[in-house]
């Protein structure tokens, strides 16, 4: 047993959290322990917006001030896009992009750096109830506003057999729910004879864990077969997260998205037809370059009339090197904020309506370990957050519960 210590700080998406959890698990297996006074610090970075990059820069500077003797390694999307810049930061001794970020473990412990595999799978295990399982990485879409394809590389994925093995490991650790995640999930199996629908069928058939949720999936890749499968499954949760980005066909074309609003709407109504209780979340961007007042109103009215449960609203962030950054008609910051706030208000209205629709129903709830003011919290199968008086025996159990207002 050695006395070496580490800390990992994570920014950004659930994929990053899954990878960070996996790194922490590997370091613990090598005899290292987590500490508030670490000798090595891994920063798993995000670059989805300018604000995200700024948070990483500021936090690394803070870490160096607080732990001047610690060795700092920065990994992830920011590291992929701006490695030379990051190497100049005070305290940073190593930088690994997304393709070789898991090699940070070998760097920390002083082992030889292995050849980077085409795809590496990870899953989180630091939550007592659920795990985020990475099954796919990279993206081939190159939307005009996005740096993810450049930061993560081309689409690549795990095998169905190995995904099932990881789910077995997660279940053996006592976790009840798996959230399958990736950068562009619907392209799972690219270049092989496997696909995402085949994976979901295998997961449903094997029934290795009580609950499985599908994270964000592109509307053009969300097939009717997948929706049918979810409608008939006992373990695939009635919960869909579908990125829209704009409700204007003009703006969707400028973004180089691979669908129009009519296709998107057809997917939403197909879900409501087959899975009427489903939670449906979308992503939407306010203030994309060239978005006129009329374009925004088209987008706003489009999402207003759809039976959505809530929205993840993003203010457009100008990313250097992307085609959208070069568009002359940039929307003023004040206008972007106004549009963002209107969409956030609409999202809250839709969420309240969705919750209200299900008040009084008895639904299965997976209870969390979090406690606040004597209460515990959990999520129904269709992702409604509920609360109850704290009971330790309920933690990490699925129990029928009457949905009431928080």
Domain boundaries, given as residue ranges, for the chain: 5-109, 122-354, 362-402
346 pLDDT above the threshold of 80? yes
At 247, the pLDDT band (50, 70, 90 cuts) reads very high
Identify the residue with better confidence: 120 or 398. Answer: 398
- Read off the pLDDT band of 3 (50, 70, 90): confident
247 membership: H or E segment, kind and range = none
Distances (CA, A) of 353 to 244, 292, 302, 327, 338: 20, 29, 17, 38, 23
The answer to whether 331 and 291 are in contact (CB under 8 A) is yes
Least confident residue range of 16-25, 47-56, 101-110, 117-126: 117-126
- With a cut of 80, say whether residue 2 has pLDDT above it: no
> What percentage of residues in the chain have a pLDDT greater than 90?
91
Query: Mean pLDDT throughout 194-218?
Result: 97
Q: What is the pLDDT of residues 312-324, one digit of tens each?
A: 999 999 999 999 9
What pLDDT does residue 125 have?
Answer: 83
**Quick one: 106 exposed, middle or buried, by C-beta within 10 A (0-12, 13-18, 19+)?**
middle
Q: What is the pTM of this model?
A: 0.90
Report the pLDDT averaged over residues 259-268: 98
Helix (H, G, I), strand (E, B) or coil at 152: helix
**Per-residue pLDDT at 73:** 97
Residue 1 in this model has a pLDDT that exceeds 60: no
We find that the CATH architecture of domain 122-354 is Alpha-Beta Horseshoe (3.80)
Q: What number is the average pLDDT over the span 4-32?
A: 94
Mean pLDDT of the chain: 95
Residue 156, φ and ψ in degrees, nearest 5: -155, 160
- Residue 68, pLDDT score: 96
- 187 against 126, higher pLDDT: 187
Question: Is pLDDT at 293 greater than 80 in this prediction?
Answer: yes
DSSP H or E run through 379: strand 375-380
With bands split at pLDDT 50, 70 and 90, how would you rate the model's confidence at 115? confident
Residues in contact with 283: Cβ distance below 8 Å, sequence separation at least 6, in sequence order: 216, 241, 242, 243, 244, 245, 311, 312, 314
Judge if 5-109 and 122-354 fold alike in CATH terms: no
Token pair belonging to 355: 């919750």
Residue 33 confidence (pLDDT): 96
Nearest-angstrom CA–CA distance, 111 and 119 = 20
- Res. 370: pLDDT tops 90: no
Helical pair 160-172 and 196-206, crossing angle rounded to 10 deg: 40
| Alpha-carbon distances, residue 7 vs 20, 43, 350 (angstroms) | 10, 9, 39
Structure tokens at 47: 């670059």
Q: Are 190 and 159 in contact (CB under 8 A)?
A: no
Give me the pLDDT at residue 296, please. Answer: 98
* pLDDT at 406 (0 to 100): 60
Q: Where are the beta strands (DSSP E) in 66-201?
A: 71-76, 92-96, 122-123, 130-134, 136-137, 156-157, 177-181
Q: Is residue 299 pLDDT above 60, yes or no?
A: yes
Place of tokens 């920065």: 74
- What is the CATH code of the structural domain delimited by 5-109? 3.40.50.2300
Q: What burial letters (b/e) apply to 167-188, b meaning 16+ CB within 10 Å?
A: beebeeeebbbbbbbbbbbbbb
What end-to-end distance do the CA atoms of the chain give, in Å? 46
pLDDT at residue 404 in the model: 87
């Amino acid at each position: 047993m050695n006395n070496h210590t580490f800390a990992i700080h994570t920014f950004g998406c659930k994929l990053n959290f899954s990878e960070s959890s996996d790194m922490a698990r590997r370091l613990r297996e090598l005899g290292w322990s987590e500490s508030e006074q670490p000798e090595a610090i891994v920063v798993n970075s995000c670059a989805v917006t300018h604000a995200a990059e700024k948070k990483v820069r500021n936090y690394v500077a803070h870490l160096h001030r607080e732990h001047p003797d610690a060795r700092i390694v920065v990994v992830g999307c920011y590291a992929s896009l701006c490695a030379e810049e990051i190497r100049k930061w005070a305290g940073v001794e190593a930088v690994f992009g997304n393709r070789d970020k898991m090699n940070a473990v070998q760097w920390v412990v002083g082992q030889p750096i292995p050849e980077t595999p085409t795809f590496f799978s990870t899953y989180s295990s630091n939550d007592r109830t659920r795990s985020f399982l990475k099954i796919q990485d990279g993206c081939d879409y190159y939307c005009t506003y996005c740096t993810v394809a450049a930061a993560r590389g081309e689409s690549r994925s795990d095998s169905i057999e190995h995904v099932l093995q990881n789910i077995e490991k997660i279940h053996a650790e006592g976790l009840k729910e798996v959230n399958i995640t990736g950068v562009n999930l619907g392209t799972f199996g690219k270049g092989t004879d496997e696909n995402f629908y085949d994976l979901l069928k295998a997961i449903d058939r094997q029934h290795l864990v009580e609950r499985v949720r599908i994270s964000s999936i592109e509307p053009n890749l969300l097939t009717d077969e997948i929706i049918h499968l979810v409608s008939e499954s006992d373990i695939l949760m009635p919960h869909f997260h579908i990125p829209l980005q704009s409700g204007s066909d003009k703006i969707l074309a400028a973004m180089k998205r691979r669908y129009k609003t009519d296709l998107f709407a057809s997917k939403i109504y197909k879900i409501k037809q087959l899975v009427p209780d489903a939670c449906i979340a979308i992503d939407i961007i306010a203030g994309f370059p060239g978005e006129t007042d009329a374009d925004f109103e088209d987008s706003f009215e489009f999402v207003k009339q759809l039976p959505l449960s809530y929205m993840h609203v993003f203010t457009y962030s100008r990313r250097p090197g992307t085609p959208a950054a070069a568009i002359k008609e940039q929307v003023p910051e004040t206008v972007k904020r106004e549009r963002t706030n209107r969409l956030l208000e609409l999202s809250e209205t839709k969420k309240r309506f969705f919750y209200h629709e299900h008040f009084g129903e008895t639904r299965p709830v997976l209870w969390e370990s979090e406690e606040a003011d004597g209460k515990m919290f959990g999520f129904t199968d269709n992702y409604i957050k509920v609360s109850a008086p704290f009971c330790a025996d309920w933690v990490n159990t699925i129990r029928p519960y009457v949905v009431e207002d928080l």
